[in-house]
Amino acid sequence: MASRWSNKSQPWSGKRTMEGSVEALPSPPFGDLIQTLKVDGLEGESKKLRDLAHIHNPRTVTSYSWVEKTAFGPTILIPGQPPLWTPETNPSRLQQDSGSYLRDKNAARYPSYPTEPAVVASLAADPAIPTEVDIFACGSTLGNLLRFVRGQDRTFRMLAYKVCNTIFLVRRERSPTELIPDVRGYGHTFPEANTTWEHGVKGSASHQRLIRYNFGGLDLVVRFEADGYIKPPSSPKRATPARAASPSSVCELTFSMSATSVSPSLPVSSAPATTLKVTPAGTLTPQTTLFDLKTRSIYTRYKKDHVTEELPRLWVSQIPTFVLAFHDHGLFKREDTEVKDIRDDVSQWEKEHAGELADLAALLHWIRDVLLRQSGSRIEICRSGEGVLEVRRVMGDVREVLSDGVREQWERASNEGKAEENGRNEEIVGSKGIDNEGGNGGGILEWEEGDGDFTACSEECGYCGTCTR
């Protein structure tokens, strides 16, 4: 059975060796060191934040799906829709994963501004969001910071940008199209056989979610990839497509797609794209229906606690259901596939790791303070293995976090929000007076209406059966 998750015709980001692994690409140059941090340097602030170091008031912002193949360039559907859980009735022996799988699907499809699709979708859902968000991150960047405070061995690099009062954390790989080397197992062929992209979003490549919550006295927006969703028994067969309250887009577009295969593994092009295309399609599925999926060998079922090792990542994304599929040399039986509600497990994990989470909260405040004190608008945060956290100046060919147009949208909304807040404060304080900062006025981006039906790991891996995240 050929996997629709793979596509061997796309370009490689590294060379394939005789053993089948991808040779390492050169790392971007390191800038001058600004300062370093050890975890114990967070102790004082961590104690102050202990009572706030839990996720409070989680809610969905919006979602979007990447389109796999289109002549119009990088294209997203808002709100899109995750693939539906449609488990096979009869057990089957699947082929092992083969093909090329990306580390960062957002960067690969829109290398110019990897975070911009998430920002555009967020502005569409809530035009006032720039006035309220302290940190805009993803599962990968937040997860790496969590590993640092937990003392886990992990090398990573990320960029931190400030736009008004919001800090954007963006992962930094060697290349936007860097591949995951030596992918083995059935983490791609299994979802191929057991999930389905539904009619309105066929041709999708991956589904990205944006949730928002309060943590450590900060308001966070976190982007992550959803492996799929389980339709509740009472759901109708055809749901009404969700539309954002204030729809927006970065360009006008009406298009149709004929591709029906799905492959989240490779981008349309590795060349930098200058324009993101957006169209309304799909249904905003509730967070309560989402699941995360992993495949494992049946011989490890009682040797490892597979659920517990995934809890930190599931805490970040607040996904309520974990699908764990065991196989015997590629044979998946229904009785060996566990669909587990892990909300209580995540809640218990949060309580047991309150100290580490307080350190994480202190670290986020520290990063924000460092960047807000800098004269420039960006820094690099990096770590090698078990080493200290380093803050460095940014070197190499690095763009701003947002294109000029979308950045202007964010700044305008932020300034208008400040003006409204200051206006309310003026009414309250009367003669004491508070200066009112004026905004630039104007609306958010204009949305091009669609023409009907549009058919066609975690952050690092998604479906790889060997990933331990």
What's residue 439's pLDDT?
Answer: 32
CA distances to 154, 196, 341 from 137, rounded to whole Å, are 18, 28, 25
What's residue 424's pLDDT?
Answer: 60
Tokens of 166: 């919001």
User: Tokens 């499809």, residue?
Assistant: 109
Q: Is the pLDDT of residue 271 over 80?
A: no
Q: Is the pLDDT of residue 185 over 80?
A: no
pLDDT in tens, 280-322: 999 999 999 999 999 999 999 998 999 999 999 999 999 999 9
Model confidence at 274, pLDDT cuts 50, 70, 90, reads low
More confident residue, 172 or 248: 172
In angstroms, the CA 201 to CA 448 distance is 17
Number of Cβ within 10 Å of residue 206's Cβ equals: 25
Q: Averaged over 262-275, what is the pLDDT?
A: 41
What's residue 9's pLDDT?
Answer: 30
pLDDT in tens, 222-255: 999 999 999 988 755 444 444 433 333 333 322 2
Model confidence at 265, pLDDT cuts 50, 70, 90, reads very low
Q: Is the pLDDT of residue 259 over 70?
A: no
More confident residue, 409 or 374: 409
Q: Averaged over 102-111, what is the pLDDT?
A: 84
Q: Averaged over 163-177, what is the pLDDT?
A: 89
Phi, psi of 49 (to 5 degrees): -100, 5
Q: Is 142 helix (H, G, I), strand (E, B) or coil?
A: helix
CA distances to 24, 156, 204, 267, 340 from 15, rounded to whole Å, are 8, 22, 28, 17, 40
Model confidence at 211, pLDDT cuts 50, 70, 90, reads very high
pTM: 0.79
For residue 408, the 8-state DSSP code is: H
Stretch among 2-11, 242-251, 339-348, 349-358 having the lowest mean pLDDT: 2-11
Above pLDDT 90, what percent of the chain?
Answer: 59
In angstroms, the CA 412 to CA 408 distance is 6
Phi, psi of 463 (to 5 degrees): -125, 5
| Cβ proximity of 222 and 139 under 8 Å | yes
What's residue 374's pLDDT?
Answer: 85
User: Tokens 């004491």, residue?
Assistant: 432
| Cβ proximity of 206 and 226 under 8 Å | no
What's residue 121's pLDDT?
Answer: 97
What's residue 455's pLDDT?
Answer: 31
**pLDDT, mean over the chain:** 79
pLDDT in tens, 369-403: 999 888 889 999 999 999 999 999 999 888 999 99
What's residue 427's pLDDT?
Answer: 57
